[in-house]
Amino acid sequence: MTAARTPTGAAPSRGRRPGRSTGDDRELAILATAERLLEQRAFGDISIDDLARGAGISRPTFYFYFPSKDAVLLTLLDRVTEEADAAAGDVLDRLAEDPRARWRELIGRFHAAFGGHRAVVLACAEVRGTNAEVRRLWAAVLERWVQAVQAAIEGERRRGAAPDGLPARDLAIALNSMNERVWYATFAGDGPAVAEQDVVDVLLDVWLTAIYRSTAPQPA
């Protein structure tokens, strides 16, 4: 997981035009208001006015800090993916120790990271369809994870623990996609979904059978 980290809160180009000053807390107030309101209602039902008032400023002033409502969400998403990257750490480098345990650790940590900010995750899913910026950011994040998983699968094949089969990249895409959609359903709670306490084990099982043809892969 080669995370191109930036110090949290100083998003690359989004957020306010550069130049520190007293308005920093206003920016944070907007972000905090957004995450708070997102726990109560859908992103589409939150107006810029709501965000502004929640942060104690007027609507035009909001535009001084963020170019749009979506930019606020983007900044929130940045934080969550950074947290997920950090939580994932280097587990994939230690796969051979105990493959099943390490994969479970990976999936479990992602689950915890997303579950801790489900409001943000759900909001991103909500606007992914309409906002190209969110789509692009999410695509980039996913691409990093796909590459990491692809490399891990190739490593397991090289050491003889996993059989050959599908191109590792395709497999990595399919498995990551599954996780995304299954988590979404579990967090959103509408439609057929796996119960929250089971979801990590269900996903793990599919990952292991797809990669190893077995639910109990061998350590080195």
Partner DNA sequence: GACGCGAGTCAACACCCTGTCGAGTGTTGT
Partner DNA sequence: ACAACACTCGACAGGGTGTTGACTCGCGTC
Minimum CB separation from a copy of itself for residue 128, in Å? Answer: 7
Smallest CA-to-CA distance from 88 within 4, 2, 207 is with: 2
Tokens of 100: 């099943």
In order of 51, 60, 145, the CA distances from 73 in angstroms are 11, 18, 21
- Is 11 a binding residue for DNA by CB under 7 A? The answer is no
26 binds, among DNA, a copy of itself, none (CB under 5 to 8 A by kind): DNA
Smaller CB separation from a copy of itself, 57 or 188: 188
Contact of 52 with 58, CB cutoff 8 Å: yes
What single-letter DSSP state applies at residue 21?
A: -
- Is 181 a binding residue for a copy of itself by CB under 8 A? The answer is yes
Give the three-class secondary structure for 126: helix
Minimum CB separation from DNA for residue 109, in Å? Answer: 34
Site pattern 22..41 for DNA (x: CB under 7 A): xxx-x---------------
| Sole residue written with tokens 């077995």 | 214
The alpha carbon torsion through 46, 38, 178, 1 (nearest 10 deg) reads: 110
Minimum CB separation from a copy of itself for residue 140, in Å? Answer: 8
Smallest CA-to-CA distance from 37 within 67, 11, 76, 63 is with: 76
> How many Å apart are CA 15 and CA 34, to the nearest integer?
14
Smaller CB separation from DNA, 20 or 158: 20
Smaller CB separation from DNA, 48 or 188: 48
- Pick from 4, 7, 12, 21 the residue near DNA by CB under 7 A: 21
Site pattern 132..151 for a copy of itself (x: CB under 8 A): ---xx-xx--xx--x-----
| Beta strand ranges found along 108-179 (DSSP E) | none
Residue ranges binding a copy of itself (CB under 8 A)? 42-44, 125-130, 135-136, 138-139, 142-143, 146, 165-166, 170-171, 173-178, 180-182, 185, 190-194, 198, 201-203, 205-206, 209-210, 213-215
